[in-house]
Amino acid sequence: MKAARLHGIGDLRLADEPAPVSGPGEELVRVTAVGICGSDLHWWGEAGIGDAVVTRPLVLGHEAAGVIEDGPRRGTRVAIDPAISCGTCRPCRGGYRNLCTRIRFAGHGDQDGAMRELLAWPSDLLHPLPESVPDTDGALLEPLGVAIHALDLGHLRLGARVVVAGCGPIGLLLIAVLRAAGAGHIAAFEPLPHRREAALRYGADVSLRPDIQPGDLRELTGDGADVVFEMAGTAQAVTLSMAAARPGGRVVLGGIPAGDQIAFPASTARRKGLTIAMVRRMNDVYGRAIGLAASGGVSLAPLVTDRFGLASAGQAFCVAAERKGLKVVIEPAA
């Protein structure tokens, strides 16, 4: 089979490798679609993310779908949950599988991901796709799941006033989920014009540049937003989030900063008594994500602006890094 491995900064190489063999409790999957995530761009552009670094050539990719190749479910189209948790540590036992202390995550650290033709993966993490959900949409169920998890952390109330800072794919999906969940008013902030336009299509009431003046922000949000979701990973977005929240409000930080450090005016957060929550991937929300996609509650297909075959994976990352589109998808069979 062919696989794309990251050897260092911007050094993605396609190679022939032996096909994996499914072990106990696993099934072999032929990968049909893989989305390039912002975290993949960190790996590609920095040879690491946060405090994790490339220690050996790594197959990236955790937003994926495919078709089961062996066993009784052969031919079943599935979405691939990328997080293999231990099931026994305290977070796992407490219902926080996404916080597992021994987690193995596709395309991270020592765990190869899905940018290859074949993948052996635990059966219980392969979720059958309804006929109404095509493979590319199936790959986007993972970022949709992150958006749903962020929504849960925001403790959204019906009719709440909400701000989303950062309108990349997860920010856009979050806007759609917020609208479906009954948010009263959604203000989106994003520096890129085409993403501001996409935010309106996905349900934002207003979509503005993030360099808004304090007076204009007060006019827009009144006493402030009940919940603010930061999905950009920049200091500007975090500072804006603190400023946009009402006293006693909630700020959910989901962006990943480039240098593993983020800062904001402590006095703003302290005087407002803000509650700050951090997004760590997603918890067990795949069933809800599949239900939303199958019912048409959230539209995934319009997110995909570029498609590449596995042989063009390097070009795909270059296009994704330019951020001129929305979601770039690699289709290994193309």
DSSP string, 236-304: HHHHHHHHHEEEEEEEEE----TTS-----HHHHHHHT-EEEE--S--S-HHHHHHHHHHTSS--GGGE
Contacts of 95 (CB under 8 A, 6+ apart): 283
Classify the C-alpha dihedral 97-101-102-105 as positive or negative. Answer: positive
Ranges of each domain in the chain: 2-140+300-331, 144-278
pTM: 0.92
The predicted pLDDT at position 216 comes to 78
In the chain, count H helices and then E strands: 11, 20
Give the span between the Cα atoms of 60 and 41, in whole angstroms: 10
What burial class does residue 230 get, using C-beta atoms within 10 Å of its C-beta: 0-12 exposed, 13-18 middle, 19+ buried? buried
Burial class (CB in 10 A: 0-12, 13-18, 19+), 98: buried
2-140+300-331: CATH number? 3.90.180.10
Alpha carbons 225 and 248: distance in angstroms, whole number? 10
Domain spanning 144-278, CATH architecture? 3-Layer(aba) Sandwich (3.40)
Partnered with residue 331 across adjacent β-strands are 309
Write the CB contacts of 314 (distance below 8 Å, at least 6 apart in sequence).
4, 12
Q: Which residues pair with 270 in a beta bridge?
A: none
H or E stretch at 235: helix 235-244
Cα separation, 160 vs 219, whole angstroms: 17
Q: Report which of 319, 320, 333 is spatially closest to residue 2, judged by C-alpha positions.
A: 333
**Residue among 175, 191, 139, 157 at smallest CA distance from 254:** 175
DSSP bridge partners of 161:
185
pLDDT at 273: 94
Local confidence pLDDT in tens for the 334 residues of the chain: 999 999 999 899 999 999 999 999 999 999 999 999 988 998 888 888 877 888 889 999 999 999 999 889 999 999 999 999 999 999 999 999 999 999 999 999 889 999 999 999 999 999 999 999 999 999 999 999 999 999 999 999 999 999 999 999 999 999 999 999 999 999 999 999 999 999 999 999 999 999 888 777 877 787 899 999 999 988 899 999 999 999 999 999 998 887 778 888 888 899 999 999 999 988 889 999 999 999 988 999 999 999 999 999 999 999 999 999 999 999 998 6
Torsion of CA 104, 65, 326, 323, to 10 degrees: 50
Quote the pLDDT of residue 109. 86
> pLDDT at position 129, please?
96
Q: What is the pLDDT of residue 39?
A: 87
DSSP string covering 299-312: --GGGEEEEEEGGG
Identify the pLDDT of residue 45.
Answer: 87
Instruction: Judge whether 2-140+300-331 and 144-278 match in fold.
Output: no
